[in-house]
Amino acid sequence: MSAPTTSAWNALKRMVRFLVGLPRLVFRYPDQTVDCIDAYGDTDWAGCARTRKSTSGGCVMLGSHALKTWSSTQASVALSSGEAEFNGVIRASGMGLGYQSLLADLGVHVPLRVWTDSSAAIGICSRQGLGKLRHLETHMLWVQQAVRSRRIDLRKIAGEENPADLFTKHLVSREKVGLLVKLLGCKYMTGRAESAPAARQGTTQKVTIGDADLRYVAEGRPRMPHLDYNSKDDLDKAFPSLSVPTEVGDNHESMWDSWDKLYLRGQEIVEKIKQNMDSSGRRRCEKSEAEGQ
C-alpha cells in the first residue's frame, strides 16, 4: 500500500466488509486415520488485469485436515494456459513434498497424491523433456522425473469439483464458498472466541455463510475424492493413477539427421572443404568460391 490506487481502496473495503460479516473461521482437526497426503492445485490463467500474471492456488490435505493453503501470483507471465497449469502442478507438488518430508521427520511415512483438473498439465508431466514447448524453463521439469519415479502420484479431478477453485477464481455464490470451506475442515461461526477482546454487540438481518443452508447437490458438487471413497481400490478405480512409459523416445531418432536439409547441406560444404585441403593444402579461399559456398 505504498502507492494506493482507487482500485486498491475498493478492494480493501470489500475485504473489510467480508471480515465484518464473517468474524470467525474455525479449523477443525478430528481424530482420523489416513494413509496418504493429498495436494490439490489450480490456476487462473492471466487473472491479473494489470500484469497479466496467473494465480496459483491450492491446499495440502492430510485426510480431512488442512495442513497448508496458498494463493499467489506466479513469478513470470505464462504464455499459455497449459504453462500456467503446469506451474500450478509444480507448486502443489513442491508443497506436498515439503510436508511429506516434514512428516517423515516426525516418523510418519505416507505417499503423496497430487490432483489437477488440467489435461494439458498432465500431458506435460507424462512426457520427458520440453517437446515443442520451447518457452518453458528447464528447471521446471523436475516434476516429470518425480512422476516417473513415482515420488508423486498425479491424478486428474473434474474442474467443477476441484476444491482449489476457492483460491483462484471469483465464485458465483456464497453457498459454494461455504461448501468449499467446509471441505477444508473449516467452519464459519458467529460471535467471537472466548479469548478475544470484548467487542460492541449488534444485530443484523443479513444471512452469513455460517448460517446459510449449505446443501449438497446431486451432481456437480465440489468434493475431495480421497474422502468420498472408503477403500483405496475404489479410489484407484474411479481416479486411476497416471501411468507413463518407462522408456521415452522413438524408433526414428537415428534418422533425424537425414531429415534435416540444413544439416545435410552443411555436411556437403564440410566435405568439399576437406577435399580441397587434401588436394591443395590449407589456403585462403578465393572470393568467388566463398560466395558460391
Is this prediction's pTM over 0.85? no
* Residue 141's CATH number: 3.30.420.10
Return the H-helix or E-strand segment holding 7. helix 6-21
Nearest to 114 by CA among 283, 262, 239, 267: 239
User: Is there a domain that residue 97 lies in?
Assistant: yes
In this structure, the answer to whether residues 178 and 57 fall within a common structural domain is yes
Q: SS3 for 73?
A: strand
Domain encompassing residue 91: 16-192+204-238
Q: Is residue 78 part of a domain?
A: yes
Q: Let me know if residue 209 belongs to a domain.
A: yes
Nearest to 71 by CA among 180, 172, 164, 140: 164
Kindly state the cell numbers that stand for 34.
Answer: 489416513
Q: Tens digit of pLDDT per residue, the chain (293 long)? A: 578 888 888 888 988 888 888 878 889 899 999 999 999 999 998 888 788 999 999 999 999 999 999 999 998 888 888 889 999 999 999 999 999 999 999 999 999 999 999 999 998 898 887 776 666 777 788 999 999 999 999 999 988 888 999 999 887 777 888 888 888 888 888 777 777 776 566 666 665 545 544 444 445 566 788 888 888 899 988 888 887 766 655 566 666 667 777 888 888 888 888 888 888 776 665 554 445 55
Co-location of 232 and 264 in the same domain: no
In a domain, 85, yes or no: yes
Q: Are residues 172 and 276 in the same domain?
A: no
25 lies in some domain: yes
Q: Look-up: residue for cell 585441403?
A: 277
Contacts of 74 (CB under 8 A, 6+ apart): 43, 53, 54, 55, 56, 84, 87
Shared-domain flag, residues 271 and 129: no
Residues 94 and 160 occupy one common structural domain? yes
Q: Quick one: cell of 52?
A: 497479466
Whether 225 and 272 share a structural domain:
no
Q: For residues 266-292, b (16+ Cβ closer than 10 Å) or e, as one string? A: eeeeeeeeeeeeeeeeeeeeeeeeeee
Q: Please give the pLDDT value at position 216.
A: 44
Q: Based on the domain organization, do 124 and 184 belong to the same domain? A: yes
- Identify the pLDDT of residue 217: 42
10 Å Cβ neighbour count for 243?
9
Helix and strand totals (H; E) in the chain: 10, 7
